[in-house]
Amino acid sequence: MKAIEIRNKYLNFFKNHGHKVIPSAPLIPENDPSVLFTTAGMQPLVPYLLGEKHPEGTRLTDYQKCLRTNDIDEVGDNRHLTYFEMLGNWSLGDYFKEESVAMSFEFLTKELGIPVEKLSVTCFAGDEDAPKDTVTAECWKKAGIPEERIYFYGKDDNWWIAGEEGPCGPDTEMFYDTGKPACSPECQPSCDCGKYVEIWNNVFMEYYKTKDGKYEKLKQYNVDTGLGLERMTMLLQGKETPFDTELFAPIMQKLSELAKVDNIESRRIVTEHLRASMMVITDGGRPSNVDRGYVLRKLIRRMSRHLNKLQIDLSELAGLIDLNIDILKELYPELEKNREVIKQVIIEEKDKFMKTLAHGEKEFEKAINKAKQENKNVIDGQTIFKLYETYGFPPEITADLAAEQGFKIDNTEFEKLFKEHQEKSRMGSEQKFKGGLAEQNEKTIAYHTATHLLHKALQIVLGEHAKQKGSNITTERLRFDFSHPEKMTKEQLQKVEDIVNEQIARDLPVTCEEMTLEEAKASGATGLFENKYGEKVKVYTIGDFSKEICGGPHVSHTGELGHFKIKKEESSSAGVRRIKAVLSD
Ligand code: SER
């Protein structure tokens, strides 16, 4: 069965069981500062798991694009992926354990045709926070799983929470027996010898873990499930690794044809990181030195390094991207629409990286020679930091290059220096922020409101991807940076200007409301999010036109702004454009 068939079967099955199919949220959480990327299907649904009403009802299903980067350095082995797709179904205070288990069992055995003998399940063993989950175990028995294949484990295995605080509860996991011989007589689903592979996780969210570590009962009991598409595809096809399925195999094959020196780990890294980068770029991510941008940069740079290792000419990248889009476009039609942007961003970043490598190489060689002279096999933190700061060498690349010559790196010292550096720049930006506030007056306040109008107008004219990347206001002008891959046309600029002036002419009221971040998200507000869950934020609404989380202040009516004119549109950095605009009476 191909991945697309598994996905369709899943969504249809749950649709037929009363679930509404909702679209995947973007990989880059729109209003969630607490995580860099969407890492699970439940993440965009947190407000609803906490009790807010979902417009589509109490039974939902979807496929969710996910990126998990904590294991990025493991990619290259036979199973780790950064990007993956999670199929999920949710009950928001609707069904609970019995129906959830019954549906999972039916889907696995009837729809996917997995023989019952191949299935084992695990349930929560109980501890001081919550009782043993015998209810779920009974449901499995009733469904048809024999008692000897129902296992009980503690919180490490059978409890699910995203992060430190939030909705959580005992879970039940389903395992597929690959048929490989048991590694020992004690071999169980919790063993990672490869005999048992986890295929689905149903979380019974009954609790909320508070900041101080207490478990409080939720008002509403929910079910949150997650099934990894790539893994299921691999198992149903009887393949050893996800790289042997139709999702990756053609790229693996192509790399093998192009490589002058073959190395399966490098081919997996290239294949995996290329796919992940394409997905991140499609959802609006661009390489940079911080947060999300840095993860993307790391993916592209690591991929380029491994192409080098395979001795594949980097000019092959465009062809590899084309092939990858062709493989994946049935699953993700948005890739086709972004074909050119994806190529442009990846190739630009690769070029930058190649320059960086060339510049830093001498410095790196010096460091190696120095270490050799001193009879050391470790590159010190100072050197790694210098390579990072002056030459843009990411530490993991230094580590990679060092390893090739039999050297290690002193990461602990590097981390220390890096933290100090971050602290300094944080203090710097706080200073700047204070300066900005001191300058607040009628003119800057008007520019601030104009910035909101501009942001929205850009999204109308260019599309949702045109998101704020930066803003700077003086009494003379506004400056606004936003993600967009190419120069704007004269017509587009004119349209944006017209839309903003129209809203000014409508003299829309600007109102402010305080709410929690979850409420702000649910109300559809956009913005730059530096707040944490539960914190109160201000949401500024401009008539029926725009809604953004923002500290303010703003004018009370758009009529106060005067005439809006764009003075300049230029590139700010890779994939980011900059507009300078003025208001006149
Ligand atoms: N949230 C759970 C997981 O990520 C189930 O969807 O595994």
pLDDT, tens digit, for every residue of 482-528? 999 999 999 999 999 999 999 999 999 898 888 887 788 888 888 75
Query: What CATH superfamily is the domain 3-244?
Result: Bira Bifunctional Protein; Domain 2 (3.30.930.10)
First to last CA, the chain: 65
Contact in structure between 152 and 124 (CB atoms under 8 Å): yes
> Nearest C-alpha to atom 4 of ligand 1 is from which residue?
40
Identify the pLDDT of residue 437.
37
Helices (H) and strands (E) in the chain, counts: 18, 19
pLDDT greater than 60 at residue 362: yes
> Nearest C-alpha to atom 2 of ligand 1 is from which residue?
226
- Ligand 1 atom index nearest CA of 202: 5
Lowest mean pLDDT among 63-77, 95-109, 142-156: 63-77
Contact in structure between 46 and 518 (CB atoms under 8 Å): yes
- Using pLDDT thresholds of 50, 70 and 90, give the confidence band for residue 436: very low
> Nearest C-alpha to atom 3 of ligand 1 is from which residue?
226
Q: How far is CA 176 from CA 80, 114, 319, in A?
A: 18, 9, 37
User: Which residues does 534 contact at the CB level (< 8 Å), separation at least 6?
Assistant: 516, 517, 518
* pLDDT tens by residue, 286-332: 998 777 888 999 899 999 989 998 999 999 999 999 999 999 999 99
> Nearest C-alpha to atom 6 of ligand 1 is from which residue?
226
* pLDDT tens by residue, 549-581: 887 788 888 998 999 999 999 988 888 899 999
Which H or E run contains 216?
A: strand 215-228
Identify the pLDDT of residue 425.
58
Identify the pLDDT of residue 528.
55
510: helix, strand or coil: strand
Q: How far is the CA of 131 from the centre of ligand 1 (A)?
A: 21
Structural tokens at position 271: 């294949």
pLDDT greater than 50 at residue 438: no
Contact in structure between 261 and 333 (CB atoms under 8 Å): no
- Using pLDDT thresholds of 50, 70 and 90, give the confidence band for residue 427: low
Q: How far is the CA of 546 from the centre of ligand 1 (A)?
A: 33
pTM of the entire predicted model: 0.70
Q: How far is the CA of 39 from the centre of ligand 1 (A)?
A: 9
Q: Quick one: which of 74, 24, 36 has its CA closest to 272?
A: 74
- Give the span between the Cα atoms of 237 and 151, in whole angstroms: 26
Length of the chain: 585
- Give the span between the Cα atoms of 156 and 150, in whole angstroms: 17
CATH class of domain segment(s) 440-584: alpha beta
- Ligand 1 atom index nearest CA of 86: 6
Q: How far is the CA of 51 from the centre of ligand 1 (A)?
A: 18
Average pLDDT, the chain: 90
Q: Identify the residue with better confidence: 524 or 272.
A: 272
Q: How far is the CA of 525 from the centre of ligand 1 (A)?
A: 26
Q: How far is the CA of 460 from the centre of ligand 1 (A)?
A: 34
**CA torsion through residues 36, 42, 48, 54, sign:** positive
pLDDT greater than 50 at residue 428: no
What's the mean pLDDT in 81-86? 97
How large a percentage of the chain has pLDDT more than 90?
64
Q: How far is the CA of 447 from the centre of ligand 1 (A)?
A: 43
- Of 100, 168, 224, 229, best ligand 1 pocket probe by most atoms within 8 Å of the beta carbon: 224
- Using pLDDT thresholds of 50, 70 and 90, give the confidence band for residue 33: low
* pLDDT tens by residue, 245-269: 999 999 999 999 999 999 999 999 9
- Of 49, 84, 225, best ligand 1 pocket probe by most atoms within 8 Å of the beta carbon: 225
Q: How far is the CA of 159 from the centre of ligand 1 (A)?
A: 10
